[in-house]
Structures are given as C-alpha cells and as structure tokens.
Amino acid sequence: MTHQHDQYDELSPHDQRLLDALVECEFDPEGLELLSPADQRRVDSIMDLFELLNDYPVEDADETLVHATLARIDRHEERASARLAFDAAQANDVPRGRRIRMPDFITIAAVILIAASVIWPTTNFLRQRTVDAGCANNLRLLGVAFNHYASDYDGAMPVVAQAGMFNGWSTKAHNELNLNPLLEAGYCKIGHLDCPGNHNLDPSYSYQWQLSHRRPVWGVGRITLAMGDRNPMVDAARAGRWVPALSISLNHNGRGQTVLATDGAWIWLEQPLFGSSDNIWLPMGVLFLRSGDQPIDSNDVFLAH
C-alpha cells in the first residue's frame, strides 16, 4: 500500500487482512505480532491514512438538531407501535362479525351465489329422480300384489260393488275403493298406494275404471294399463274447473306420469297417452269429464280415483 491511496477504488486483499487485524486490536499497532517487513510497511501506511483524519476536525453537532432528530425518531416509533396495537386489536379483540369489510362481504356473497347456482339445480334434479324411482318402485310392488291376487282369484283384478264402478263416472264415485281387497288381504301396504311426489293428496294413484259387462283379467290378452299417477281431470271435474285434456299429473312437477301395465311393468309417460292416442285421463271421445262418462270397452284406458 502506498500514500497514493486516491488512485485505488478499494483495498487490496493484504490491506484488508491487516485492517481487520488492527480493528481487532483496537488500532494498536503494537498488538500485531510476527509481522513481515512488507506487512509492517502496510500497517504504517494504514495508520498514516487514519492520522489524516486529524487534519479535518469536525465541530460538534448543534444540540437543537440532535434533540429534533431524536424527537422525530421517537414519534416514528410511537406511530409504528400504535399501528401494531391497532392491528392486534382487530385480529384478537374485535368480534368476528365486525371484522368483515365490504369487499369481503361481497366476495363471500358471490361465492355463495355461485355455489347455490350449481348445487340447487343438482339437488332438485336428484330429488326429482328420487321421487321418480320411489314411484316406479311402488308401482312395481303393486304389480306383484296384482299378480298374487290374480293367482288366488282366477286371474281377476280387485273390484268391489260399493265403488260405483258399474255405473258411469260421477263426482260421488270413488274408484280407489276397488283397491281395498289388496290391502285387506295383505297383498300390499297402504304406503304402496302413494307416489312420493303426491303433494299430500290422498290417494295419489288412480285405478283402471271397471266395467260391468266384462270383468278385467290380469296379465291375459291385450296389455292395457291398471294404475297410474293421480288423474288431474278427476280433481278438476269435482271442483267444477276445466283443465286441458293433456294435463300432466302433479305428482312429478309437470314432467310426466308413471303407469302400471297389466303385465306388471311400469312405464314412464311424458304425455298422458297410451298407445298412439288413448288419453289415460278420459274415456274415448270425451274432452271434458262429466257424470255418467265411462270407457267404451275394456281396451279404452280410463284411470280414476
């Protein structure tokens, strides 16, 4: 190291090593031992540089400036402490409901709306499918009941004279009474006569209208319909109202109706039509149900309750 120190931007590795050693011995050159002649010259040069500082004495700082600086530092620390205390109070002491800010509320509301828009249709779809499956299962069990009843009574389907089935349909006729033999003999349970989507209407199934001149036979001959969802035309006629002839049963939210064929199979109908044009709610040729109406023959499907 030379006195022409202004020609260098940084210390050499040897100067750095010796400067570190001087710092450790508190700038006492005598504390350095076993120095080579070259290192001794470098130490002397370093000490000469530090001696130059004595040529530029610095006056003591103004006391007012010192106090102002310290005061500003104190105020900065106080503000920082206050912010930390406020954040801690928000995190620990403020009730949860009061910590929600408007942006947070909007975000939560948006998430809930999106979730509802996805979950609700799915839930509604699953519920409808559950109702459909429950209705189909009840009709399947009723098909088994009809089959056992027919085996015990020479192929006959249940019928009772008190139901008024040998006369034409009227608001006083209760066609579902023809199902009582199935219940009384234990071929089925009362719960099997209700569709899960019946909206608290009793009964929820309609039964094939029985004719006096021909006793129906189960599972023999031309396949027709024995039972189905509740007939909306019957309810409208009893209330003195008119509804379209192709009205859908209310048991499945207007999507269709389930019916039971005389061979024990259950069928889903989107329209109340069996075959090409037989309206299951009305006798053939009838557009508005009135007292005295009845099917023209045993092949004319008319389900009533």
∠ Cα 218 223 229 (to 5°): 85
Sheet containing 266-269: give its strands across: 266-269, 257-261, 225-229, 205-208, 303-304
Residue that wins the pLDDT comparison between 29 and 280: 280
Tell me the percentage of the chain whose pLDDT exceeds 70. 75
Strand partners, 257: 269
Q: How far apart are CA 149 and CA 218, in angstroms?
A: 9
Query: 50-54, 80-84, 98-102, 175-179: lowest mean pLDDT where?
Result: 98-102
Q: Is the pLDDT of residue 70 over 80?
A: no
Q: How far apart are CA 262 and CA 38, in angstroms?
A: 120
- Dump pLDDT digits (tens) for 95-151: 555 556 666 767 777 778 777 776 767 677 778 888 889 999 999 999 999 999 999
Confidence (pTM):
0.59
- Model confidence at 33, pLDDT cuts 50, 70, 90, reads confident
Place of tokens 């009845």: 294
Q: Is the peptide bond before 203 cis (omega within 30 degrees of 0)?
A: yes
Instruction: Write down how long the chain is.
Output: 305
Integer CA distances (angstroms), 226 to 25, 200, 223, 300, in order: 113, 22, 9, 11
Confidence check: pLDDT of 198 > 50: yes
Half-sphere exposure at residue 232, Cβ-oriented, CA atoms within 13 angstroms: 21
pLDDT for position 108:
78
pLDDT at 85: 62
Residue 54 has what pLDDT? Answer: 64
- Whether 166 has a pLDDT exceeding 50, the answer reads yes
The rounded mean pLDDT for the chain is 79
CA distance 160 to 237: 23
pLDDT band at 5 (very low <50, low <70, confident <90, very high): very low
Q: How confident is the model over 238-261, as a mean pLDDT?
A: 90
Strands 225-229 and 257-261: antiparallel
Give the residues across from 206 on adjacent strands: 228
The pLDDT of residue 13 is 81
What is the predicted pLDDT for the residue at 244? 92
Residue-level pLDDT at 92: 57
Position 24: which residue type? E
Q: What percent of the chain has pLDDT over 90?
A: 25
